[in-house]
Structure 1
Amino acid sequence: MLEFLRNGVRTWYFKALLGLLVLSFAIWGVGDIFRPGLSGNTVVKVGNIEIGSQQFTSALQRQMQNLSRTLGSNFTLEQARGLQVPERVVEGLVTEALHESEANALGIAVGKKALVQRIRSEPGFRNQEGQFDRSVYEQTLAINGFSEEQFVSRLRQELSRAQVLGSLTSEVPVSEVLTNRLYSWNAEKRVAAYIKIQHDAIANIEKPDDAALQEYYKGNESLFTAPEYRSATYVHLTGKDVESDIDVSDADIQKLYDQNIDAFKVPERRTVQQMIFSTEEEAKTGAAHLAEGKTFAAVAKDLLRQDEDATNILGDVTKIHLPDTLAEAVFNLSDGQVTPPLEGPFGWYVMRVTAIKAPKTQQLLEVRIDIRAQLVQERSGEALYKLSNDLDDALGGGASLEEAARQVGVVAKKVTKVDRGSNGSDEKPMNDLPPGPEFLTTLFNTPDGQESELVDLGVNGYLILRNTGIQAAKVKPLESVRNRAIKFWKAEQRRKQTEENSKRILERIKGGEPLEVISKSIDVPIETSPPFNRHGEGAANNLPRSLAAELFGVKVGGASSAPSDRGYTIGVLKEIVKAKVGANSADVKALAEQLAQRIGRDLEIQYNNALRQHHNVEIDQRALDNLLSQF
């Protein structure tokens, strides 16, 4: 439960208080309300409500802690500012204060009884038995940076705000006529007949003369431009650099083994064959044949046309690998026994156990190496951090990157001419670079001849590099890329001819010539699509979605065309499949709920804008900047 809360509780209240970045500047702009000079410790003032520096920094800390837990790494202030987290925190505080001001103006109050009931009903405060547990409650507040007094105060405010917004956005009426029309429009489908004109069908493209090739080369220099390359000397610190310094005793290994003994328990496993029938009667027939003495493979072959291998598809399984409707029966069998017909997720099953492996507990000797590796990995983090500090200190003392690496006992490596895509000058991938995107990002952000900062790569260790050279992007000479240029030029000519051919065919269709006649004249088969919607969903894979959308703009018999990866597709609308509103009541109801939510959000945005006009909002940007500089 606590792990669930650490990852973000999904109830409406915790989304408001403990969730990640849920507010957007799409609601209002904020530039016009930032002004210096609020009095005392106040950084934000909304009407008569003042928000102090401590409230802002606490809210910012909670947001950053939530992000750190979600992303699995330390979330720095620099990263937060890059994502405008401080601005979003301010905007959230302003929103809360606006709603609180309005609640106060309307005389809305939340009593102690309602607060207690709300706290006791929150799933995040319950123990494993589903009961409210004060120790869980207190621990959850501590994890999320709240004292009980702060939490109760925020909850009281939140419940009063909920009453304000709830009166506005709950039970939003949605027109049945509007819903039905939108559903009919969106669920309507089309069926098309189409032909495909392929680029490859155009053969015998002659080579271009020098003038044509030169013109194409000049007009498409980006196709023949070598990317920017950079070279570097770098040090990549990983767990392997400190493994030899990690001491793991036999007692340590024994202790971890004892503490996690359940993890080393291997459950009973069974090798299972199965036959799946469409009906219970067919399954009973199969079971009867088995009872007569026929082999499992023979029955599968006679009744299901399966070969012997197909009856072994389940292989070695544990009880949890099987659906509940099958697991109990299978694990009650003895070796060689067969189940009666069982209803399962894909039909009626007849299953046979061919081998049983009893449950066991892996002995320490079997898992010793794995446990030691786990302990080494866990303890290497601190050692690796110390090594990175030693490297940083050596560099700070004036050593070069190579000298500093030698001083701490690691090797400085070199990479020569790598592009942003991790390819070398031979256009082949460099596979021995440090993992993750940080290496190339750091290299291409570091000026020539300079060293980067020490970069924390998380589970991948630490990285620091020196940019040792930049080769700017440049266009390759035509002679060095002549063959490629000729290939591209030919492909372009095929594309142009295919486009012209498709235009002529489309004109013939629009002139009244049947698609069947055109198909025969160019020896290209007609294909028919399954019904598809306005987004192209449901259409065959080789019917471009852009064409599907175009066909919603024509009448039956109308035509359109669209490019695809391999050519052009010309389609003729054959049928309009109207949506059946009455037959899809569940989908219509879901659409009505979506409309209600969207209308509710629109009303909330308009309401917030109105509150902004009614309650004066002031933000002391200078004070906020000072707080962030000291954060």
Structure 2
Amino acid sequence: MLTALRRLASTWVAKLLFVLLISSFAVWGIGDTIRNFGQDTAVARVGGTPIEMDEAQAAVRREMQRLSRQVGGQFENDPRIRRAVAQQAIEQLVLDRVLRGEARDLGITVPDEAVRDFIFSIQGFRGMSGQFERAVFENFLRTNDMTEGTFLALVRADLARQQLALAVRSGATAPEVLTKPLLQWQLEQRSAALVTLPLAAAPEPPAPEEAQLRRFHENNPDRFSTPEYREASVAVLTAERISREVEISDADIAAAYESRRNQFETPERRALAQVLVQDEEKAKAIAAAWSGGADFAAVTREAEAAGGQALELGSLDRAGLPFPQLAEAAFGTAVGSVTAPIRTDFGWHILKVESAEPGATRPLTEVRDQIRTDLTAEKAADLAFERANQVEDALAGGATLAEVAQRFNLGFAAIRTDANGMDPEDKPVELPVIEAARAPLLRAIFTAEKGAAPRLAETEAGFVAVDIKEISPPALRPFESVEPLVREAFIAEARRRSQEERAAGLLAAVKGGKSLADAARESGFGVREVGAITRDQRDGAIPPELLAPLFELKANEPTMAQTQDGYAVAQLLEVTRPDPGTDAAALARLKAEVTQAMAGDLETEYVAALRNRADVRINPRLVDNLAQP
């Protein structure tokens, strides 16, 4: 292509065109340049503080690398994925600036000792000795394209954010006026009378006449028409295909293992419960009672009486605890034991270790194949972009899809298919992609324009070029060729209408004052009573389509629903609402869940309010540039 451009540049036509371009630049180009002088180059601004392009690019690059490592060979660098990643990365940078500003305004500082202790506690930075190793840490920085200063700043900002978050979350407490009615709502049970009318039990309808079948055929063309078919040539370039050309050495695998060691280490995790109060003496008393065998419900009451709170923290590793002293206490205490009170900026913490999952490190011999696959996928993705440019140049130079496919080792097929990938004989069409990519490739084929020159475009199926040869629109099949299908569909529809009318008749009878049992007996249907129905029923005692409507009814009210195999009619007989105070354990669990949910909502609303107050401005043009490969 470059040769062709150079050849064109030497012609008198090209020279005349250049003169016109230079003249037009003299008219409007300089003015446009002056107008754009000083234009904002920041991707976003938070309260006037810029987020520059290089910082945003580094954040997007790190996130893309993380996704590629996690997904491995299945990762496709799709334009929509890149845009979503770019938007997410920018939003994270914005929130980071917002929270940093709030921490600064509130005078929250994180000492160097806290940053150091936090980094030393990260399992991924520990070597075979179990201690922090500088080489592992530096490999992590190189892999994630970060300097040490950048990482330390991120950790410091994250610890400050955790202090803010804990301060906001600590104010969440689920009151009994909320949790008791909620538990009662969850445990509520209902009983109902139920009549089911499956389509298989519908009476056999009269044999349809030919005129009826022909009308049904004409009135339902979508059921009896041929699909749209497209005759096309397709060429596909995927990282998976190129990966067959990639070679990975043992040295590459060993280096990757060292740099990604944290991926193969599972840190020890512990299930923890926590009490947080402000008074040391009350904390000691609660710790003594908890160690002496008091259950969590009793401890919760003591904590609330002391003006604090009790929470189930769930399963955490060391990095999941915001303060090093909490991590040391939690992971230095035997399972089933309670720690002594621990002082932090938020008060006195008491932790109980409910269970523990030991950590483990997978050796290189075990993960060698996985690393080889990941490295192959990464190198193949880089090669795919290089080859895509070569293919695009060849297509622009006039090469056909078949020619570029052979020259650059692309997948290629000449096909006639419908949108579901079936040929006119209703057999699956062979496509040059893996099964998971069939649907994206078919979408590309059925969105391409006939007559348009084939161009390589990035899709979920990989880089795809399509040349549409012919489009055959849908056409109603002749009645004679589909008469058996028409007859079958006509009879099925007649049965469905019959059962619908019967169900509607039962519903009307109950609304008219009869019980469902009486109405069913009069109509010759069987009825059964179903009890102990719960909102989260999974055993199929009643059709799932009836479950939600049944819990909206008042006593003796009926409802009707179409089910997978027919229709069903139900009448609510009784509502049983248990006393939530009789199940203290369930109430305590629900209270902890609601408290956690409220804490999460408080934090979300708090961050959203800070963001709204921060005068955030995002440059959409530069965000679009970030999403480009």
Scaled by the length of structure 1, what TM-score is found? 0.63
Opposite residue 420 of structure 1, the aligned amino acid is A
Change (3 A) 1:561 1:246: closer
1:561 lines up with 2:560 in the alignment: yes
In structure 2, distance between residues paired with 1:624 and 1:406: 37
Alignment length (residue pairs): 468
* 1:209-248 equivalence runs, <5 A: 209=209, 212-213=212-213, 215-235=215-235
In structure 2, distance between residues paired with 1:612 and 1:474: 56
Aligned 8 A contact 2:555 2:573 in 1: yes
Aligned 8 A contact 1:65 1:75 in 2: no
Change (3 A) 1:424 1:548: same
Aligned 8 A contact 2:59 2:89 in 1: yes
Opposite residue 67 of structure 1, the aligned amino acid is L
The CA deviation at 1:242 is 10
Aligned 8 A contact 1:38 1:620 in 2: no
The CA deviation at 1:148 is 0.9
Change (3 A) 1:527 1:120: same
Tell me what 1:492 maps to: 493
Opposite residue 121 of structure 1, the aligned amino acid is S
Structure 2, unpaired ranges of 5+: 1-35, 254-368
1:421 lines up with 2:424 in the alignment: no
Tell me what 1:190 maps to: 190
The residue matched to 1:466 in structure 2 has which SS? strand
The residue matched to 1:531 in structure 2 has which SS? strand
Tell me what 1:551 maps to: 550
1:446 lines up with 2:448 in the alignment: yes
Tell me what 1:92 maps to: 92
The CA deviation at 1:146 is 1.7
Tell me what 2:79 maps to: 78
1:503 lines up with 2:468 in the alignment: no
Opposite residue 402 of structure 2, the aligned amino acid is E
Opposite residue 441 of structure 1, the aligned amino acid is R
Moved more, 110-119 or 543-552: 543-552
Opposite residue 595 of structure 2, the aligned amino acid is A
The residue matched to 2:533 in structure 1 has which SS? coil
Change (3 A) 1:591 1:246: closer
Aligned 8 A contact 2:78 2:458 in 1: no
The CA deviation at 1:210 is 5.7
In structure 2, distance between residues paired with 1:597 and 1:53: 37
Percent identity, aligned pairs only?
28
The residue matched to 2:206 in structure 1 has which SS? coil
Aligned 8 A contact 1:98 1:612 in 2: yes
Give CA deviations for 1:290-333 in whole Å, capped at 9, x if unaligned.
xxxxxxxxxxxxxxxxxxxxxxxxxxxxxxxxxxxxxxxxxxxx
In structure 2, distance between residues paired with 1:379 and 1:607: 39
Give CA deviations for 1:49-86 in whole Å, capped at 9, x if unaligned.
33222222111211222222233256547334543x32
In structure 1, distance between residues paired with 2:611 and 2:407: 61
Opposite residue 447 of structure 2, the aligned amino acid is N
Tell me what 2:142 maps to: 142
Change (3 A) 1:174 1:237: closer
Tell me what 1:125 maps to: 125
The residue matched to 2:488 in structure 1 has which SS? helix
The residue matched to 1:72 in structure 2 has which SS? helix
Tell me what 1:596 maps to: 595
Give CA deviations for 1:216-237 in whole Å, capped at 9, x if unaligned.
4454332233222112234568
Tell me what 2:605 maps to: 606
In structure 1, distance between residues paired with 2:198 and 2:443: 41
In structure 2, distance between residues paired with 1:37 and 1:54: 20
Change (3 A) 1:579 1:55: farther
In structure 1, distance between residues paired with 2:246 and 2:64: 32
Aligned 8 A contact 2:99 2:161 in 1: yes
1:110 lines up with 2:110 in the alignment: yes
* 1:373-412 equivalence runs, <5 A: 395=395, 397-404=397-404
The residue matched to 1:423 in structure 2 has which SS? coil
Aligned 8 A contact 1:544 1:563 in 2: no
Change (3 A) 1:244 1:482: closer
Change (3 A) 1:128 1:390: same
In structure 1, distance between residues paired with 2:52 and 2:237: 43
The CA deviation at 1:390 is 7.9
In structure 1, distance between residues paired with 2:553 and 2:502: 21
Structure 1, unpaired ranges of 5+: 1-35, 257-369
Tell me what 1:469 maps to: 470
The CA deviation at 1:398 is 3.4
Opposite residue 466 of structure 1, the aligned amino acid is D
In structure 1, distance between residues paired with 2:381 and 2:77: 19
Aligned 8 A contact 2:78 2:459 in 1: no
Tell me what 2:50 maps to: 50
Moved more, 402-411 or 430-439: 402-411
Opposite residue 606 of structure 1, the aligned amino acid is E
Change (3 A) 1:526 1:622: closer
In structure 2, distance between residues paired with 1:40 and 1:247: 45
The residue matched to 1:146 in structure 2 has which SS? coil
Give CA deviations for 1:86-119 in whole Å, capped at 9, x if unaligned.
2332222221111111111111111111111211
In structure 1, distance between residues paired with 2:383 and 2:41: 42
Aligned 8 A contact 2:43 2:618 in 1: yes
Tell me what 1:617 maps to: 616
The CA deviation at 1:445 is 3.0
Aligned 8 A contact 2:165 2:603 in 1: yes
Give CA deviations for 1:99-142 in whole Å, capped at 9, x if unaligned.
11111111111111111121122233233554333332222232
Tell me what 1:534 maps to: 535
In structure 2, distance between residues paired with 1:241 and 1:64: 21
Moved more, 100-109 or 515-524: 515-524
Opposite residue 487 of structure 2, the aligned amino acid is I
In structure 1, distance between residues paired with 2:549 and 2:409: 65
The residue matched to 2:494 in structure 1 has which SS? helix
1:628 lines up with 2:626 in the alignment: yes
The residue matched to 1:108 in structure 2 has which SS? coil
Moved more, 494-503 or 592-601: 592-601
In structure 2, distance between residues paired with 1:576 and 1:474: 55
Tell me what 2:153 maps to: 153
Scaled by the length of structure 2, what TM-score is found? 0.63
In structure 1, distance between residues paired with 2:609 and 2:243: 62
Tell me what 2:314 maps to: none
The CA deviation at 1:176 is 1.5
Aligned 8 A contact 1:60 1:89 in 2: yes
Tell me what 2:354 maps to: none
The CA deviation at 1:178 is 0.5
The residue matched to 1:571 in structure 2 has which SS? strand
Change (3 A) 1:201 1:452: same
Tell me what 2:571 maps to: 572
